[in-house]
Amino acid sequence: MTNPQVLLSLPGPVSAFAFNADRSQVALCPNTNEVHIYALDAGNSWTLTHTLTSHTALVTGIDWAPTTNRLVTCSQDRNGYVWSLDAQTNQWDPALVLLRINRSATHVRWSPKGDKFAVASGAKCVSVCYFDQDNDWWVAKHLKKPLRSTVLRIAWHPNNVLLAAAGADNRARVLSAFIKGLDSKPAPSPWGDRLPFGTICADIGPEGCGWVHDVAFSPDGTALAFVAHDSSFYVYYPATAQVIAVPTTLLPLLGVMWLNDTEVVAVGHDCTPVLFVGNGNGEWRYAGKIDEGKKASTSHGNSALAKFRAMDSRATTQANQDTELTTVHQNSITLIQPYSPTHYVTTGIDGKIVLWHSLDEALKRLALA
């Protein structure tokens, strides 16, 4: 498989997306109030199969539970929906979730077990939602303190209880989302031993970091990575309460994902994934850009005639003809997600969903540099 591979290309931005368990379908929002579901057909092409239209404002979050095959969506209309596929009609049936918020929802994530989900919002809270069997509906409990501004992104700890929140108040936090009667008591960890709902396990705010755009737990759950508007990458170790900061000269980073315990990929306004590498002893460094970009070849050859033909086909002049970037993504990358043990996917303002190999040669060179 070539690296990277453009799986899907839309004419406008993708505000949220999620793949199903076997990666044969993807649900995405084309920057509207709709959710579009594409399926991979026999010809290895993506075909639109369903359009979900219950939301009345921009959809800001989508997640697909791998164990239950349920979709969850949230929107600027302040509502959430849990979608279940009816096997007989082949239609997605929505169940309204009252999030009890007075500002837009910004992000949603199923817990690792798929038995609850969390919704971030501009209401200075996170709604932790679970299904109440007795009343046959979804119940939302709020994590409020010490959140003081919009929560931009959230991430679940592997233990299904702890939740990390990236805030517009320039802080990253780890809170307990333990639901009595649903969750079993988690094993002791560096984050704490007793974790009732709302317990503050960490409250991190490096000076001058700006908005914290995204957070992610390490695979073993013993560290938290986050990226902020100061273009720096941070790793927090709860065992020592140590924050490792790696400043860069990049444009601000918007998303972050662990490849393994010593490699982290981040994305942002530079239109390429970038790599950070640790040595296993708490030291981290910026390794470089994964997609350095290459000039696209032209069938007309590298001649003056080819230059004028390109200008004519685009109806451009010399002043504005060279607007295409040499990277795969043509605009800011806003989202990054795992795809498989060896791959991850990115998307953003250019409308492309791109598949990357986490073990490709470019990444290896950066890690060993």
> Using CA atoms in the order 111, 143, 267, 227, what is the torsion angle rounded to 10 degrees?
-130
Q: pTM of the entire structure?
A: 0.89
33-42: list long-range contacts, CB under 8 Å, 24+ apart: 33/57, 33/58, 33/59, 33/75, 33/77, 34/59, 35/59, 35/62, 35/71, 35/73, 37/92, 38/8
Length of the chain: 369
> pLDDT in tens for each of the 369 residues of the chain?
457 999 999 999 999 999 999 999 999 999 999 999 999 988 789 999 999 999 999 999 999 998 999 999 999 999 999 999 999 999 999 999 999 999 999 999 999 999 999 999 999 999 999 999 888 899 999 999 999 999 999 999 999 999 999 999 999 999 999 999 999 998 999 999 899 999 999 999 999 999 999 999 999 999 999 999 999 999 999 999 999 999 999 999 999 999 999 999 999 999 999 999 999 888 999 999 999 876 433 333 344 554 555 455 445 555 455 678 899 999 999 999 999 999 999 999 999 999 999 876 566 667 666
CATH topology of domain 5-294+307-368: Methylamine Dehydrogenase; Chain H (2.130.10)
Sketch the domain layout of the chain as residue ranges: 5-294+307-368
> Which of these, 247, 163, 264, 169, lies nearest to 211 by C-alpha position?
169
Measured CA to CA, the distance from residue 150 to residue 89 in angstroms comes to 39
Q: 74-132 pLDDT, tens per residue?
A: 999 999 999 999 999 999 999 999 999 999 999 999 999 999 999 999 999 999 999 99
Identify the three-state secondary structure at position 365: helix
For residue 223, which of 198, 206, 240 has the smallest C-alpha distance?
240
Closest CA to 13 of 369, 351, 357, 360: 351
